[in-house]
Structure 1
Amino acid sequence: MRAEVTASTLAVQSDLPVGHTLSRHDLSTVNVTVGPGVRFVQADRVQEVVGRRLRVPMVAGALLTEGNLGNPTYPHPGQALIGIAVKPGQYPPDIGPGDHVAVSTVSDATDSQRTAPVSVTAVVTKIDRPTEPQNPAVVTLLLSHAQARLVAAPAAQGLTTLMQVAP
């Protein structure tokens, strides 16, 4: 005996940031097998969903739930989003939303003023890749507020490197 059923549900077609207002072009219909208690937004409700905002960022292919919709509640208390411009060689070129990275900073001060390197862990929420290879990518990271304060100044000076790490 199986309690699973096949359902036609809505999924997002591309990476979407928190607060994004959904359009019909953002959504696709997928058939999935779900167990009892799983509550995805059914495909026949597409007109109800269009025009609503995302509470959280979503990655391409993610199935839409009611919990994803509404006024943004992201980042959560104690968390921060920070954008970091990184040049080729300062980040793995294949990172994307949901990846965990170590954010390492260095000091450009003279030896007498040099500060110890800082390394914190963050989650990539978005990446804007450059159209020209010599330009930096802008990577949006989710991390604790305290960690964001540690890396903000070095990041603004281009003194950060991202390394992909296991979650």
Structure 2
Amino acid sequence: MRKTTPATIALTTAGVTFATATYDYDPGSDRVGLQAAAAMGVAPGVVFKTLMAEVDGKPVCVVVPSDEEVNMKKLAAAVGGKHAAMMKPADAERLTGYKVGGISPLGQKRKVPTVVEETAVLLDEIFINGGQRGLQLRIKPEDAVAALAAMLADVIR
């Protein structure tokens, strides 16, 4: 597995400290974030999944703990919209340049508004996808938010 991806390049270029962690990706898993947490032996609440959504037809990236679900009404409200829905996987891959299961909020082909669940900053560190299936980045949540120019908001159920 290569550990240099657009996500790691983005963090390195920004001077952000991070560490990589790898795990055996299970393509049959229904919940990649939970599978990643189990494979790495860490709590599911510190592994954050990256989801691509559309709010009023415009793309939005949302980053939430792997053991939580996005509340679409809260997501829409967080970005000043009325209606939110999950993006189709093929559209997410085309927009981000990453494969589903390996979508990172960092280093995407096209920069879109990003929302990080506000509880992330209560943790010392989190794991976010590194831009490849089986690759996670261990990072301070405030560093991730800054590198993403993300907004913090309550977007879980």
- Pick the structure with more strand per residue: 1
Larger Rg: 1
- Pick the structure with more helix per residue: 2
TM-score of the superposition, structure 1-length normalised?
Answer: 0.24
TM-score of the superposition, structure 2-length normalised?
Answer: 0.25
Structure number with greater CO (CA < 8 Å, separation at least 6) is 2
